[in-house]
Structure formats: C-alpha cells, structure tokens
Amino acid sequence: GENVEQHPSTLSVQEGDSAVIKCTYSDSASNYFPWYKQELGKRPQLIIDIRSNVGEKKDQRIAVTLNKTAKHFSLHITETQPEDSAVYFCASDTGRRALTFGSGTRLQVQP
Amino acid sequence: GAVVSQHPSWVICKSGTSVKIECRSLDFQATTMFWYRQFPKQSLMLMATSNEGSKATYEQGVEKDKFLINHASLTLSTLTVTSAHPEDSSFYICSADPRLAVTDTQYFGPGTRLTVL
C-alpha cells in the first residue's frame, strides 16, 4: 500500500521567516495531495491541495510544489505568523479517495 | 456548505461496553465516508471505508467484528466500538466524500474522543 513520509517532525521558525515541510510518497498511482493543518483536539483543516497534473499551486502565503518523478511534494509557508503554529499533515490519495497521511510536522512560530 | 458533524464529541465508558459514534453530512449526500483513528501525538490512520448500502472495507489490521460500521443512508454512517478496552481510547474522525467532479476534497467531522476506563 501507499506510504507517505514527512519531514521534519518539528520545525521552529521566527515570525516572518519561511517554513518548508517535505513529503515523499511511494505509490506512483497517487494523484491527489492535500495538506492539512490541525490544532489540538480539532479536525484537520484543508489548507491547500494539488493534483498530479499540476507542478505548483499557490494561495497567498501558502504554496505547494509537486515532483512526480521524484515522488515528493512540499508545503511552503512564507511570512509566518504565530497563528500558523499547529501540526501540519501531508496526505496522498491513490485514486480510491481514502487518504494516507504523513506523520505530521509540529510547526512553532516564535513571535 | 459541506458540513460534517459527529456525535458524541466525547465519551467515557467502562471497559467491556460498546460505544456508537455517528457521522452525518448535513448539507450534502455522501455515498462514501471514511473512518480514521488518531492516537495522541500521532497521525490519522484510515480504519475503514464506509459505502452506503454495502459492507464496509476495512484496512489491514483493523478488526471488522470489533469496529462495526453501518452506512444506512447517504447522510449517516455509524461506527460502533464493541467491547471497548483502554487501548481503544483514541480520537475517532470521520470524513465524507461528496464525490464532486470539480474537487477531490473530502470533509472531516470534528472528531469523537473516546476514553475507555
């Protein structure tokens, strides 16, 4: 089955700096890659997603890049703010609509 | 739009009892719903895929006789944890797939925190 690896597990940045989280996947059939932000005790919140026919997508301070050949995708957050502090999960979908999640990255933005 | 609810939001039960968790799509129909489990400080792990009108598909290692799933309508799926034990204590989250042609997005419920004493 699909395996998604996520790095780093924790990331601490200064307010205003950029943060990058990287994921790799194993199944070449994967065609959809969402990123979620989860605050303690709450549901995952979709922040951005990308399909396999697109190499990059941007939404204000958040961007995702996808390299299908290398089977990796990355989340980029620019101009980080304290409210960006949370756990971020990448995920992939092989086409059966169920998601395989990465292990998560705890992002802390220091004011 | 695209709201998914879960009930209850938390439950505490004694070891050996059964607990039912409901997942509802409030403003759309979902032929497919998914059940995930999340242990503290860990990721979400898919337990099963729930299809309306048919048997659920369970992931490897998930006991189908222990985690009973019923998807009786296009807006409701239930997960029953039978004979719960302390190791079943976890955060259970459902998601509903509207299967829209324009998006791959599925919508998550707020989760149910189960504590088994």
pLDDT at res. B1: 67
Q: Taking CB atoms and an 8 Å cutoff, what residues of chain A touch B106?
A: 97, 99
Mean of all residue pLDDT scores within chain B: 93
Does the beta carbon of B25 lie under 8 angstroms from any beta carbon of chain A? Answer: no
pLDDT at res. B101: 57
Q: pLDDT: is B21 or B73 the higher one?
A: B21
Task: Decide if A35 contacts A26 (C-beta within 8 A).
Answer: no
pLDDT surpassing 60 at residue B85: yes
Q: How far apart are CA A23 and CA B56, in angstroms?
A: 29
pLDDT digits (tens, 9 = 90+) for A46-101: 999 999 988 999 999 999 999 999 999 999 999 999 999 999 999 999 888 899 99
> Which residues, at least 6 apart from B63, have a Cβ–Cβ distance to it below 8 Å?
none
Q: Taking CB atoms and an 8 Å cutoff, what residues of chain A touch B44?
A: 44, 89, 99, 101
